[in-house]
Structures are given as structure tokens and as C-alpha cells.
Amino acid sequence: MTTMDHVAEQTKLERLLQVEEGSLGFIAEQEVAATRLFRQQLSEFYYQRHQDAFHRLAGLSKLLPISASAKIAMNLLGPVLAAGIACELPKDRAAKLAGRLPTDFLAKLSLYLEPSRAGAIIAAVDENHVVEVAKHLIEQQEFITLASFVTVISESTLKRIMQQVGNDGLSLLKVGFYVEDKSALNLLVKMLEPSQRSALLDAAHDQNLWPAVLSLLPHLNEQLQAEMANLAAEGSADVRENLVRSVAEQGDWYPLLLALSRMTEENLKNSVTLAAMHEEALLRECAAQIKALEMEAALSSFTELLTDEQKALLG
Amino acid sequence: MSSPIEQLAQQQLPEQAQNYLAALPEAQQNQLAAQVLATMQEKDERVERALSRALDVVPAPLRRTVRKMLFS
């Protein structure tokens, strides 16, 4: 079954291949891990075709003072070559060079960095500089690039970057949705201000993106799962109806069932009373998914809270 | 003329990546392989253009020599 993790991988591959978003729909039917590996190998394959030239230019760059290298990178080489050269420089020199380059140029350059080689460099660049570069990437809506760096920057830098994103729920979602190592989502969600968490859920409702937001939930620890599930459950009935119907339409029930299993008894009770949960087809599908996903024990309270009318619908 | 998949193999696309392509249904396999190849050519051209631009500062009669020294 296609989950939002599949869709995220599809979009990242489309981005690498420079094709229109959604044009490689069949990729979402492939295993997430296999597509990720394919994309990473492809990115490395493209890089290696020019690695020798990048390496030689990096060798020349090392002969020059940093300030001269920076001027040449900006005025002569441009972001494509500068990105390749940066990947071939020792990380300390690359970081020093980055410190001399304007942040708008670095933002352009970062689009061409080979992610597997860029981590060490970015980690060595001054925090203020990284935050400024991130600001440009946010302005340019370059969330795939930004998300690819989440795991290599320090916690304090990441926190400042997330503050820059502010209460733009859709942008917050995109950073989380495209993050390369999903285990980083714990840190990312933990550092969100309450207003940012609410903005994330508002974006899910306003832009009909509940499946994408819910897809982040399985990657969080139990405490954060409970916090986010309860926050969603405390929204208006209108919002929660929309949430359940979006999941039913998309078909990936696991994140929603996980949310139900993590929320408080009171919130669970409010979820059971939703109008959507009184529709036979939807309720039957929900029950079938609980069984198929072997979540009967985790959702025993949910089943107990069903009214006689709902139980009758299930037959 | 060889197929995009054969061309990618000739260009030494890693074997695992070739296997990923080979596991797709034929039509999808051809579409994706053609796109991988097109992107490769586009990226090659982009680097090539950037190198040519960088060599513009070298006096014209010396460009070929400098290019040879640096990149071959």
C-alpha cells in the first residue's frame, strides 16, 4: 500500500531527476527503502562523473588564500562548480571558504551539494552563517534541500532555523515530511513551540494534508505521539471529521489508529462520537484495519467506547 | 542504438541501481531509465558549461592547453 513515506520518496526522486512533481507516480508503489537507496546511488553516480574535475579544481583552490578562493568561487566558478569543489576540500577549509561567501550564494550552492559528502562541511560552518543560508532556502521554498541537512546540523542551529520557519504550518510540514533520517523528527517536533504545533495541524486541515501530517506520527516517540494526538483530538469537531475522512479516503489507517491508541480516554471518547464514526462503511473499514494491523489490544478502549448503535453497524 | 538501460550500464550506473530499474514493469523501466539518462546528460552539460565559463578568463589560445592540463 502507498503511504505518505512512499510519496515523500517519490517527490525526492523527481526532484533529483528534475522532472515535474507527480510525474513518476509509479515510484510510490515501490518499497521506500529501495527507492531511497536508488536515489542515493543515483545522486552519487551523477557526482562521480565529475569528481575528478572537482578534485583537481579543489587542489588548485588549496594553493590560494581563502579570500581569493572565495572571490573566484563567486565570480568565476559559480554555484555548480563551487559545490563540487567544496565536496572535495578538507572540511575545515571548506567551512572557512563558506564563511567568506555571501549566504545567498551559499544557498544556491547548497542545491548542488552531494548530500552524502556535504554533512561534514555543513557541520563545520559557523552557526550564524548556516541560519542565514537556511533563511534563503526557506524563502525559496527549498524544503527538500533544507530537510536533507537537518541531521547534520547542531541542535541549537536547528532550533534557530525552526524559529525562522515560524508559524507557517505548511513549511513546517514540508521540513518534517522530507527529512532524510526520520528519527530526527523527535528532535524536530520536540523543539516546536506550541503555536507551531498548532500551525502544523491547522495546515493539515486547511490544505487537506492530514495523511502527510499523520505520516510523521509513527516516527515519533510515544510521548510525542501522545502530545500530538491529543492536540489534534482537542481541535474542533469539524477538524476531526475532516481528519478521519481524509484518512479513509487515502487508505493508510495506521497513523490514525496509532494516534487513537495514544490519546487520553476523554479525547478517545470524543473521537468515537464523531459523525464519520457513525457511517457504516467508514466504521467497518476502521474495524477491519484495527484487525488487519493487529491493534485490537492497543485499541481495546476504543472498541469498548462504541455505542450500541455503532456496534450494530459492525454487525 | 542501445536502450537507455544499456546505456546506463555502459556508463557504470551501480549494479544495485540497475537492479532497481530492472525490477520495474517494462514501460516504467523504460520511462525511468530514459529520465535518468536525460538528467545525466543535463547535469553533464551544466558542469561542462560552468567549466567553459570558468576558462573564459584564460586567453583564448591557451584555453585548450589549460583545459587538457586540468581535466584530462
The pLDDT confidence band at residue A118, using thresholds 50, 70 and 90, is confident
What does the alpha-carbon distance between residue A221 and residue A177 come to, in Å, rounded to a whole number?
16
Separation in Å, CA of B59 to nearest CA in chain A: 15
Q: Does A45 touch chain B (CB under 8 A)?
A: yes
Other CB atoms within 10 A of residue A141 CB:
11
Instruction: Name the more confident of A261 and B72.
Output: A261
pLDDT over 90 at B58, yes or no:
no
C-alpha torsion sign, points B50, A132, A137, A117? positive
Residues of B in contact with A84 (CB under 8 A): 47
Residue A192 has pLDDT above 80, yes or no: yes
> Which range marks the domain in which residue A201 is found?
172-315
Assess whether pLDDT exceeds 80 at residue B69: no
Q: Which three cell numbers stand for residue B7?
A: 546505456
- What cell does B67 get? 583545459
- Please judge whether B44 and A52 are an interchain contact, meaning their C-beta atoms are less than 8 angstroms apart: no
CA distance A282 to A79: 52
pLDDT of amino acid A127: 94
Contact A25, A10 (CB under 8 A): yes
Q: What percent of chain A has pLDDT over 90?
A: 90
* Cβ(A246)–Cβ(A211) below 8 Å: yes
pLDDT given at position A189: 96
pLDDT at position A119 is 86
Q: Which residues have C-beta within 8 Å of that of residue A203, sequence separation ≥ 6?
A: A168, A169, A170, A172, A173, A209, A213
The answer on pLDDT for B10 being more than 70 is yes
What's the pLDDT score for residue A107?
Answer: 95
Chain A residue with CA closest to B40: the answer is: A46
pLDDT category, A19, cuts 50, 70, 90? very high
CB B8 within 8 A of CB B36: yes
Q: What is the DSSP letter of A276?
A: G
ipTM: 0.91
Residues of chain A with Cβ-Cβ distance to B45 below 8 Å are: none
First to last CA, chain B: 28
Residue A18: which region, alpha, beta or left (left: phi > 0; alpha: psi -120 to 50)?
left
pLDDT band (50, 70, 90) for residue B60: confident
- Which of these, A254, A250, A249, A259, lies nearest to A292 by C-alpha position? A254
- Is A103 a domain residue? no
Give the sign of the dihedral formed by CA A267, CA A268, CA A269, CA A270: positive
Whether B20 and chain A come into contact, CB under 8 Å, resolves to yes
Across the interface, of B20, B25, B47, the residue whose CB is closest to A34 is: B20
Flag if A76 and B17 touch (Cβ within 8 Å). no
**A16/B14 touch (CB, cutoff 8 Å), yes or no:** no
Q: Do B50 and A56 touch (CB under 8 A)?
A: no
B 31-70 near A (Cβ less than 8 A): 31-32, 35-36, 39-40, 42-44, 46-47, 50-51, 53-54, 57, 70
Exposed, middle or buried: residue A97 (CB in 10 Å: 0-12, 13-18, 19+)? Answer: buried
> For residue A34, what is the nearest residue in chain B, using CA coordinates?
B20
B2: confidence class by pLDDT, cuts 50, 70, 90:
confident
Contact B71 A52 (CB under 8 A): yes
**Nearest residue to A130 (alpha-carbon basis) of A62, A69, A143, A152:** A152
Interval B29-41 mean pLDDT: 97
- Given a cut of 90, whether residue A24 has pLDDT beyond it is yes
Angle at A79 (CA atoms; ends A27, B47), nearest 5 degrees: 70
pLDDT of the residue at B72: 66
Per-residue buried b or exposed e for A5-38, using 16+ beta carbons within 10 Å of the residue's own CB: bbbbbbbbbbbbbeeeeeebeebbebebeebbeb
For residue B18, the SS3 value is helix
What grid cell was written down for A186? 523527535
The domain tally of chain A equals 1
Residue-level pLDDT at B66: 77
* Tens-digit pLDDT profile for residues A289-309: 999 999 999 999 999 999 999
Radius of gyration of chain A (CA): 23
| Range with the poorest average pLDDT among A46-60, A64-78, A112-126, A173-187 | A112-126
The answer, yes or no, to whether residue A238 has pLDDT greater than 70, is: yes
Residue A280 lies in a domain: yes
B47 → closest Cβ in A18, A38, A50: A50
CA distance A146 to A136: 10
Average pLDDT of B13-20?
96
- Report pTM: 0.88
Closest CB to A37 among B16, B31, B70: B16
Contact A260, A302 (CB under 8 A): yes
Cell of A62: 588549496
> Is the confidence at residue B71, as pLDDT, over 80?
no
The predicted model gives A149-178 an average pLDDT of 94
Helix H, strand E, coil C: the string for B28-62 is HHHHHHHHHHHHHHHHHHHHHHHHHHHHHHCCHHH
CB-based contact A38 B13, cutoff 8 Å: no
Mutate to test the interface with A, among B18, B31, B32, B56 (most CBs of A within 10 A): B32
Using a CB-CB distance cutoff of 8 angstroms, which residues of chain B are in contact with residue A39?
A: none
Q: What's the gap in Å between the CA of A12 and the closest CA on chain B?
A: 14
